């Protein structure tokens, strides 16, 4: 799953911002996602090293009582050159990044949490 709403996401900052925390709404989104996934057979939790991803994963780990989160630098997003850290110029959905994610069937959709 994708990380929940983060400060850099609502500020429209593009690219890798590894120290950006979750917003209050992001914490609620992560809790909601963890609640939805509580009955799934999840045996491992992997996260990028970005703070927002680790915090999102921690909500899931707490709900599943599985405190093992493996933070992997290989999962960190790619750098986007001169656009790194710049304000995004494309439209976003109100209150979120509008980034697609996958549902259980592998179909792309825009998150609505």
Domain layout of the chain by residue ranges: 7-109
**8 Å CB contact between 20 and 52:** yes
Looking at the whole model, is its pTM more than 0.75? Answer: no
Terminal Cα-to-Cα distance of the chain (whole angstroms): 12
CATH number corresponding to 7-109: 3.40.50.1240
What's the mean pLDDT when you consider all of the chain? 74
The pLDDT-based confidence of 5 (bands split at 50, 70, 90) is confident
Residue 47 pLDDT: 93
Instruction: Give the pLDDT of residue 88.
Output: 60
Burial 9-39 (b: 16+ CB within 10 A, else e): bbeebbbbbeebebbeebbebbbebbeeeee
């Amino acid at each position: 799953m994708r990380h929940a709403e983060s400060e850099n996401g609502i500020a429209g900052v593009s690219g890798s911002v590894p120290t950006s925390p979750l917003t209050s709404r992001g914490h609620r989104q992560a809790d909601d996602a963890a609640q939805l996934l509580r009955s799934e057979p999840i045996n491992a939790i992997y996260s990028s090293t970005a703070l927002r991803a680790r915090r999102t994963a921690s909500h899931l780990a707490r709900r599943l009582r599985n405190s093992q989160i493996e933070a992997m630098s290989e999962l960190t997003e790619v750098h986007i050159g001169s656009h790194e850290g710049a304000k995004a110029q494309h439209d976003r959905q109100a209150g979120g990044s509008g980034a697609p994610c996958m549902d259980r069937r592998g179909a792309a959709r825009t998150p609505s949490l």
